[in-house]
Every structure is written in C-alpha cells, then in structure tokens.
Amino acid sequence: MFCKNCGHENPDNAAFCAACGTPMNTAKPEDTEDKTVQVNFNNVNPDESFSARPDINNTDNTGNNFTNDFKSFDEPVKKKKKRLVPAIIAIVLVLALAVGAIVWFWPYVVNTAMNLAEPQAHQAYVYRRSAQKLSDSYKNILKKANKYKNISYDGNLGVDLSDDAKELLTEFAGVNADLDMLDDLSFDYNYTAKDDYIGLDLTANASDYSFDAELRVDNQTNELTVNLPGISENALYVDLEEQPGMAESMDYSAIIYALMLPDEELADHIVEEYIDIIFTNIEHVERERAAFEAGGVTKKATCFTSVIDYDVFVDATVAVLESVSEDKMIEDHILTVFEDAVDDGNYELIAQLVGAEMDEETWEYEELDADEYYDIFLDNIDDAIDAIEDSDSDDTEIELKTYIDGKGDILAWDIFVDPDDSAKTEVNIFIGAARDGKDIGFELSVRVEDKYSYEDFFVIGKGEIKGKKFNGEIDISAVLGDDKETEIATIDCKDVDLLLLSDGIINGKFTFESEFIAKELAKNFDFGDETDQILSLFTVTIDSKSTEDKADVTLSLGLGDGNLVSLHLTAKYADPKSIELHSDYTDDAEDW
C-alpha cells in the first residue's frame, strides 16, 4: 500500500506511513466492523516537533521539510458564539425606521391616492383632516384649562418708572406727589385657584413702606372679600351682582359659550359627523395645480375652488340643524348644561339658552326642569329651519379657494364674496402661509370694495425659521379711503420659539413700533414744544423667557426715544395650596 502523501510503500495492514507518519486508510468499502486505531501520544512533548520515525528526515515526497505540532490535541474545540443581541437590535432599528417612514409618509400616500377621487370627496377629506387637527388642538387647550382650574404660583411684579415718565406726570399731568417714593416698587404675590375659589395674597414694597392685601373670590356666588392686614380689622364683603348696574351689565353670552363647549369625546364626534355634512353639500368643486404668494414667498399647491351659493348654504345649514336635533351626544351635553343651570338657579342663563326674554316676576319657564327646557331648545331649532327654508333667496355667491400641500394640510384660503344686485359691496379675504426652505411668509389681507371706493387691510410677515426659532418682521398697513397705503405698525420678532408658541407659551422678543399711533395720541395730548419729539414714536417691547414651568416677562412702554415704564413679571408654578377664607367681614364700606 502506497502512502498518498509521500508515496512510500507500506504493508497492507500499516496504520501509519513508515516514512512520513501520515495515517493510512486501510478500511475497505465493504467493511462494516468498527476498526478504530488507538494511538498513544502521552509521551509526546506538544511544544516540540516530531517525526513518525526519528531516523527518517521529515520530508515529503517533494523534498519539503515539515513538522507536526500536536499542541492542538490538548486544546478544547472552541465553539463560535451566536451573536443574537446585535442581530435583534438591528432588526428592531429597521422595524422602527420602517414604522417611522410609514407614519411620516402615510399622509402623502393617502393624499396622493385622494387625487384619484372626485374633487368633492378629496376636499371633504382635506377639511375633515384639518378639523381633526383643530380638534386635537382644542383638546390640548381643554387639558391646559383643567390644569389652571387648580393651580398655585408665587411671583413678583417689578415696576420701573423712568425719569422721563416722572417728568411727564408732574409737568403735564399735574401730579403733585413725590414720585421718587415709587423707586424700587415691586409686588410679591401668591395666586391660587382651587375648586370654585380664587385667592390672591399680595405684598407691595416701595422705597420707604410696604403693605399687605388679601383677596378671596367665590366663583359660584360672584362674591369677594378684601382684607388689608395691619390696616383694617376685618375684611370688606362685596356681592358683585348687587353692585349698581353690575347685574344689568353682566353679559352671559361668554358664560353660555363656555358651558356649551364640548368635551374631548364630543369634539371628536362633531368633527366626524358634521364636517362631512357641510362639505358633502358643496357639489361644484374644481381641482387644479396652482401657486399662491404669502409674505413674498411663492408656493405651488393643489387648489380647490368651490362656489357656495344660497341654495348650498340653505342645504348645509338645514342638514346640520336637523342632525343636531337628533344627535344623542349633543342632547346629553345640552341637558347637562340645563341641569347645572337649574341647580344653581341661574335662570338668566337659561333664558338666553332658550331664546326667551325674562321677567323675574312673571317668567313662565322658571318651574320647568331640564328636559322641558331641552324641548323648548328643539322647538327653537325647528323654527330656525322653517325660517331658513322660507327665506327669500338671493344671488350672493361665495367663491372659496383652498390651497393644500402634498400631505393634505391647508396652506391658504382665498375667499371672495360676490353680493347680489341689492348690495354692491364686495369682500375679498386672503389668509395663508408659505415656506421655501428656511424662508417663510404669511399674510392676512382684507379688501372691502363698492362701486365708489375700497378699503384694504394688510398683515404681512416674512422671515426665517432656523430649528424651532423664528426671526422676522410683521408689517401692518391699511388703505383707508384715500387710495394711499398707511403704515400702521411694525413688529420685529427675535428668537421666537415656535414649539412653545404652539402650546400658548410666548418665548422670544417682540418690538412693536408705530408712528401712526403716536400721531393719533398727539391729537389728544399737548406736551408743548416737546410734543413732536415725545409723540414721534410709540413703542411696546415684550421680552419673554417663559417656559412650561415658569413665567418670566418684561414689558416696556416708550414714547419718542425714551422708555417710560417697564414691568417685569416672574412666576413659578406649583401645586395648589389651600385657600383660607375670610370669616370676619363687613359689607359696609364706610365702616370698614
């Protein structure tokens, strides 16, 4: 048998080659018996090379030297570790990126698909989407409003009266007091709103004196008490509704609107149900690619043009009113408003809700319950529907142009009101914003025109957005009947945080300047020879560094080149504290 490695001839039963030590394959294909060769390497030094026969050179059949290192026989075989963790992380990252891409691009995909639908359906989708975003903003406002129902914060208001202001007050306003005592004037305060009560504790500090004041308000009864510790022995009680002219002058419309505001669930319901009702009644809709300009920035967009005539208005209004009268969620909401008003005995509010004039002595609805008030409310809706359907039609048309981007977000509106023959006053309103890279422009313009004259009003802003900060300028101007544009004011905006602004928090610097207002003031104030200089410019500066947790605002008012007064307000929010009501009070102001 010849060695396959070196070619040396060996006996047929040799286990190793006698020349090179290479194992010999002696098994025959038909052999089934296990023939394992036992080799003892115990006397082999793993750090030294060896040959199968020490008297034979370690060369192969090609003449090359070789060594056999048996160190590996003593080492365990290392298994490769499966790297599962990096693989799992990679998969998670890929999935996260995929989900993020879908979320980001999904509005583009849906809006692109809606281009295949009829323009009417596409426009309804756009307004439904816009209304849902508005509903989300509204719900965010509700959450913040609920937060401020129970809140407490400590703060300070500092007042800095300039020498120019003191001079104006003494020389031209006839103030004889020593105004230097107002130097370093400041107010430390704590404001707390909890449940139905408001508490304000105030300490006024000036150069040579200080005093404390306490105010408590009961929102349910419209009652308040004022106490001056150290000055008065007790508090003064005031019933606002019993003050002369107060009850008659109280406007309940704001209260009505506040009570009628829907909760989060109802807001979503209104968006889902009523936006479609309104826009499905607008049948004549055209869709095209068009461009608009706002604040000097031009933007290409998809434009919907809708014509809303009298018949469309009637159909949409009647459809909404009929749906409201049958809407169970709205019924529950309004019934709750009536029930609360009945429990509080607030019949003035109920009278306005049901559209009835109230005579406290003979008012016929005072003994009704909430369900009966709601029946009257439904009767009023039926009467409104009849009045709308029976009204005389006219030829007034409203042309509505809606510009949207690739996501379906509304960028601008252009509204033109074309009156009928009996009224020749046309109205054109444009409101929109356009962005091109870091440049942004926004505009509000109103034109009212008849066959004799026209009036224009413009608010045009332009600037740059870097990150979340806006820097730019807003110009306010008008054409008021003399065909000459008048600059009313300019507002310089610096480092305005748009993210905080979307949450209703002002962070940035605004400088309002107006020669127009200064000239109007000059017509009513006389500062002698200094009038033109003093009233050459009116300025208001707001510098806010407020965040979600604290307020830090400086307000400055100036005339001409000088600053008159600066107010610096700081406040830090905290959990609501308990309000200690005044138990010892009098309603006699003279006795107090």
In angstroms, rounded to a whole number, what is the distance separating the alpha carbons of residues 16 and 41?
Answer: 14
Percentages helix, strand, coil for the chain, rounded to the nearest 5? 35, 35, 35
Interstrand relation of 410-418 and 485-497 (parallel, antiparallel or unpaired): unpaired
Give the H or E element holding residue 216. strand 210-218
Tell which residue, 225, 220, 173, 167, has the closest CA to residue 197.
220
The vertex-375 CA angle with 372 and 377, nearest 5°, equals 115
Rg (CA), the chain: 42
Distances (CA, A) of 244 to 219, 223, 235, 238, 250: 19, 15, 21, 12, 11
Three-class secondary structure of residue 541 per DSSP: strand
Give the H or E element holding residue 517. helix 515-522
In angstroms, rounded to a whole number, what is the distance separating the alpha carbons of residues 453 and 479?
Answer: 10
Query: Can you give the pLDDT at residue 136?
Result: 85
Three-class secondary structure of residue 368 per DSSP: coil
Q: How would you write the pLDDT of the chain (592 residues) with one tens digit per residue?
A: 778 778 778 887 777 787 787 787 654 444 444 444 454 544 445 444 444 444 444 444 445 444 444 444 444 555 555 566 677 777 777 776 666 666 666 677 787 888 888 999 899 889 988 888 888 888 887 777 777 778 888 999 998 888 877 777 776 666 666 777 777 889 999 999 887 788 999 999 887 778 899 999 887 777 889 999 888 888 888 887 666 555 444 444 545 555 567 777 888 888 777 887 888 778 789 999 999 999 999 999 999 999 888 888 888 888 888 888 888 888 888 888 888 878 777 777 777 777 766 665 556 666 778 888 888 888 888 998 998 888 776 778 889 999 999 989 999 999 998 876 665 788 999 999 999 999 999 999 998 887 777 788 999 999 999 989 999 999 999 987 667 888 999 999 999 999 999 888 899 999 999 998 888 887 777 666 666 777 788 899 999 999 988 899 999 998 887 788 899 999 998 777 788 888 888 888 777 7
- Neighbour count for residue 19 (Cβ, 10 Å): 22
In angstroms, rounded to a whole number, what is the distance separating the alpha carbons of residues 126 and 400?
Answer: 14
Locus of tokens 């323009």: 119
Q: Are 283 and 313 in contact (CB under 8 A)?
A: no
In angstroms, rounded to a whole number, what is the distance separating the alpha carbons of residues 138 and 148?
Answer: 15
Residue 64's contacts (CB-CB under 8 Å, 6 or more residues apart) are: none
DSSP string, 41-74: -TT--TTS-B-SSTTS--B-TTS-B--B-GGGGT
Which amino acid, 224? L
Intra-chain end-to-end CA distance of the chain, in Å: 131
Q: Are 94 and 102 in contact (CB under 8 A)?
A: no
In angstroms, rounded to a whole number, what is the distance separating the alpha carbons of residues 544 and 570?
Answer: 10
Query: Can you give the pLDDT at residue 69?
Result: 46
Query: Can you give the pLDDT at residue 520?
Result: 83
Q: Where are the beta strands (DSSP E) in 82-209?
A: 151-161, 185-194, 197-205
Query: Can you give the pLDDT at residue 219?
Result: 77
Which amino acid, 91? I
Q: What residues form DSSP beta bridges with 201?
A: 190, 214
Query: Can you give the pLDDT at residue 101?
Result: 62
Q: What residues form DSSP beta bridges with 569?
A: 157, 553
Q: Where are the beta strands (DSSP E) in 410-559?
A: 410-418, 426-436, 439-449, 454-466, 469-480, 485-497, 507-514, 538-545, 550-559
Query: Can you give the pLDDT at residue 564?
Result: 84
Three-class secondary structure of residue 375 per DSSP: helix
In angstroms, rounded to a whole number, what is the distance separating the alpha carbons of residues 15 and 10?
Answer: 9
Q: What residues form DSSP beta bridges with 428?
A: 416, 447
Tell which residue, 374, 331, 404, 440, has the closest CA to residue 107.
404
In angstroms, rounded to a whole number, what is the distance separating the alpha carbons of residues 305 and 398?
Answer: 10
Query: Can you give the pLDDT at residue 62?
Result: 47
**What is the phi/psi pair of residue 465, to 5°?**
-115, 120
Interstrand relation of 235-239 and 538-545 (parallel, antiparallel or unpaired): unpaired
Q: Are 324 and 411 in contact (CB under 8 A)?
A: no
In angstroms, rounded to a whole number, what is the distance separating the alpha carbons of residues 160 and 563?
Answer: 10
